[in-house]
Structure 1
C-alpha cells in the first residue's frame, strides 16, 4: 500500500481517482480522451495514456479489452478505499430513514421483526442486498406442555416470550401416565417460568430437593428429558440466523449467463452454516465497519461480490450479530459505510 501510494504523484493520483469514481458511478471504462477533459490540469490524451500505463504496471487498473478505457482492479479498489475514499457523516435524510425503520414500536415487537426491518432498510438505501445476522438467542420460558403422541412418545412444547414455539419429540419413561405428564409440566411452569433455558438448568440443580419432594420418579425423569432435548436443540442446525432482503437488487446490471452463475454461487454461499459463521468472524476481526472487496475474503471470492459489515453488541459488550450490505464491487462505499455503522450502533442499543 505505501509503495503504491509513494509511486503516485498528484497527476497520477487524480487520474486514478477519476477512473475509480467513474467506475463506481457508471460501471463503464473511462478512456484517455474523456479523462483529459475531466482533469483539473491540462493533459493531452497521449499523456493520460502514459499515466494509465504506469497505473496498470502498479496493478491498480486494467483494460477490459483492446482500445477500451480503464477499470480499477480489485487491488485498485482496495487501494482507493484505503487511501482516497473520504467517508463523510451520515446525511440527515439517511439518518432519519434508518431511525424510522430500525426502532422498537412496542415492547412486544419480536427481535426477528426488528431485524427484518433493518435488512430491508439497508437493501433499499444501498441498492444492494441488506444482510443481518444474529446469534440464536435463548428464549425466556413462558409455558411448557407435554402431549402424548403414543404410549412411548410425547411432544414437548416450549413457548417463549414473543410466542416463539419449540417442539421436540421425547421418549417417555416406561409406565408414565397422562397425569404424570401434566404434573411434570405444572412443576416447570410453577418453578421455572420466566427464565432462559440455561437459567432453568442452573435453577433445577438448586431445587433438586423440591423436585424429589413434589414429584415422583417418573415425573422427575420427564422434567429432565424435556430439558435435555431442548438443551440439545441449541447446538443442532445453525447457531445463527440470517436475514437477507433485496436479493433482486443484485440482478441489476448483470451482463449475461456468467454473471447469473456467479450470483447463484453467492446465494448458495449465504445458505451455508459455515458462511454465516464466517461473516460473523469477519465482523469480529476488527473494530467498526469492515470492507471486503471481491476475492479478499474466501466466502465471496467466486461470486466477486463486496461485503460491508459491522458487528453489533449486547449490554455486556458481547458481539451478538452483524449488519451489512452485499453487492457488486462498484458499491457506493463512501455512503454505505456510515449507513452500516449507524445501523450497527442502533442495533447495539436495541439489544441491551
Structure 2
C-alpha cells in the first residue's frame, strides 16, 4: 500500500481522512480526486496542499478515461471511495444524480481498478490480483433502513433503504460485493453512523443549527424531532477506516459507530443552550417523506476483531465542534452562499420568511 486514491477527498469526511493519512503514514502518496460540487471545499485541505506526498486532481469519478489515466500515472494500489452525493433531502428532489454518481461512479472505479490490478485482466476466470491492492467502499448505516425502539444494525442484516440516497448507497455496496464475489477483487465495505465535527457543510443537522442559531434564524426541525441517530465524530470515523484499510479481512463489511444515540431535538436544544439562545427559534416543519425513525450501530465486529474503538464521547465531541464553529465564522460565511442559500430557501423557508433570510445571507 503506497499510492492511495481517495475519491471525494474535498468533502467533509474525505478531507479529514486525507489529513489523517498524511499524518499517520507520511510514506504514503495520497491522490485526491473530487469534482468539487457545492459540498467540496479545498479550503479544508490548505494545511496539506504543499505536502509533496499529496496531489489533488479535479475529476468526476464517472469519467472513465480520466480515472484510468490517473491509475496509470500514479500506479494506484488502493482506493478509498468517499465520492458520493450524500444528503437525503437533495436525493428526494433530484434522485437521478444520486444514482448516477453513487452507483455508476462506483462501478467505473471498480472497473478501472480491476483492469489495473488483475494479474491477467484479459482472462475473465483469473481471480489473482497484485499484492497489497484493496478497494474500500465508504458507506452508511442508512442502507439498513430504520429500526424500532430496540435493536441495532449488524453487518449481516438485510439492506432495506428508504430514501433515494440510501438506495443508491446500498446499490453501490452490492456492486462492490459483486466484484469481490465474481472477480475476486480485494474489498472492504464500511458503514458509519451520523458524522459530526469541524468543516461539515451546513446542510447537515449540527452545522445547520449552529449557523442558524448564530444568525438568530428559525431552526427547522422535521416532524417532532424525535428521530434518533448514533453520532460519530469524524476523527473517529477516519481512524476506523484506516483500521479497516490495514487490518480488515478481505471481503468483509465493518460497521463504524460512536455509541452515542441522541434524538435530533435533543441536539438542537443542546446547541441552543450552549450558544445562549432561545428555544423559541425552533420551528417544526413537515417531516420529510420516508424519514427513518431510528438508527443505532452495533460496532462489536470492528472493536473485537480489529481493535478499534471511538475516542470521543458525545459531550466532548460537541464541545470541541461548537468551539471550532465559533472560532471559524469566516469559513461558514464563505460556505453559506450561492447554491446553499437557494437550497436552504427551497427546503426550509416558508414563503413569508424568504425575503428576510435572503437579506440576512448577504
- Structure 2-normalised TM-score? 0.22
Task: Pick the structure with more helix per residue.
Answer: 1
- Structure 1-normalised TM-score? 0.23
